[in-house]
Amino acid sequence: MTWNTRLETLAFWLLLLVPLTAPVSRFASDVCLIFVAIFFLIHSIFTRDLAWLRHRWVQIALALWAYLVVRAVFTEEMVESVGRAASWLRFPIFAAAMAYWLLRDERRHRTLLYSLSIALGFMILDTFMQYLLGFDILGRAPIPNEGSPRLTGPFTSPRVGIMIIWLAVPAMAWWLMQPGRKSLLLGVLFTAGSALVIFLSGERMAFLLTGLAFILAFAILPASRIKMAGIGALTALLLSIAVWHNPGLMERQGQQTSEVVGEISGSIYGQIWQSGIEISKEHLWIGVGLRQFRVYCPDAAYGPVNNIEMRCNLHPHNMYLEWLVEAGLIGLIGFVGIVLCWLRPIPARFAELRRDPLCVGLLITLVIRLWPLASTTSFFTSWSAVPFWLMAGWWLAVLQPSYAKGQS
């Protein structure tokens, strides 16, 4: 075994740890991601395997990274802004490592699916345990909240629902479409269990995105309509039982969601978005720099100073608005350009891609992550970025000819 083979094997094992560590330690998952990126650069330099640099999305990402760093130098809080901008490079390199180095055969895709399934199963069971017993496997209790407690699962704050939907769809789609009753049963458990736990968690945006994912899966996944309708009916039954057991869930997931949507401009998200829009008007082209929304937002020029707690936050709570405010129109166009490169093969290959449940699951995940109307956490924080780039790199990997050959 050559040194390069050993390096690749080690990097693949670290890749498997990324989804496994995501539910318990964002630091650990980020460290695994960083080492995968570093090992890929070492491999590329010493083997002179630099073909991945010819991909258009990589070129845009490198140019965007350079721009972010230069822009950060001229911010008020330069050290923090430069640190965030410079370290962002690890994410596209990690995605490139997945696509063009580590996931070049079907067996590795399957192994990564097993890793993802274990992480998903753990989050579902841990959160359901917290709901039933009042504490999870780590001893964490739900967070008290009007109507119904907010579940956290293995996390310290209410984010288990969104993490599940960020990771679950490829595993659900794959298991549902595998031959055999055991695989089908596992797929049903993952699908219904994920929806139930997300509903119980009280996370409204996660539940809305789950509904969107279900609609897309029903429309795209090459499964019988009877099977999909049956899974939908089972999920609806479980949610009905949950509401009967705890009516406060319906108040939060139904009534409060309707109120926020109906009065979006007066909601906390609407006010934060408005602050972001006002900032972007004055800094349209180059933005204010990464991690600078929190610095500019309290200024009276962008909203009333007696309402700072409502209209300001650490970030604008929308991915596209965050790019616009902090990186300007230049940064937003660059990011959209990367995404368009990822999605460009779909029209020509849609019939082929929809026959593969893993491809469908990854595509649905990208759609819900990129949904423009969603309220989101910061795109640049590791606990949000690691799952995003994991799915992006995986999507790019299934587009490669080597994956298609393995499936034939």
Angle, vertex CA 370, rays to CA 367 and CA 372, nearest 5 = 115
Angle, vertex CA 111, rays to CA 107 and CA 116, nearest 5 = 145
> Mean pLDDT of all residues in the chain?
88
Give dist(CA 214, CA 257) in Å, integer. 19
Q: How many CB atoms lie within 10 A of CB 79?
A: 10
Read off the pLDDT of each residue in 118-147 and give the average, rounded to a whole number: 89
106-133 and 3-21 helices cross at what angle (nearest 10)?
Answer: 20
Residue 310: the pLDDT is 67
Tokens 């410079």 sit on residue: 86
Instruction: Name the percent of the chain lying above pLDDT 70.
Output: 92
Residue 370: the pLDDT is 96
Give dist(CA 293, CA 323) in Å, integer. 11
Give dist(CA 313, CA 270) in Å, integer. 12
Q: Which of 186-200, 212-226, 247-261 has the highest mean pLDDT?
A: 186-200
Residue 252 has pLDDT above 60, yes or no: no
pLDDT tier at 75, thresholds 50, 70, 90 = confident
Instruction: Name the percent of the chain lying above pLDDT 90.
Output: 54
Residue 373: the pLDDT is 85
Residue 306 has pLDDT above 80, yes or no: no
Angstrom distances, CA of residue 105 to CA of 216, 391, 406:
27, 17, 6
Q: Is 38 helix (H, G, I), strand (E, B) or coil?
A: helix
The alpha helices in 78-159, defined as continuous H runs, are: 78-87, 90-97, 106-133
Read off the pLDDT of each residue in 57-78 and give the average, rounded to a whole number: 94
Q: Give me the sign of the Cα torsion angle 199, 201, 204, 208.
A: negative
Q: Which of 46-55, 71-80, 225-234 has the highest mean pLDDT?
A: 46-55
pLDDT tier at 294, thresholds 50, 70, 90 = confident
Residue 262: the pLDDT is 52
Residue 200 has pLDDT above 80, yes or no: yes
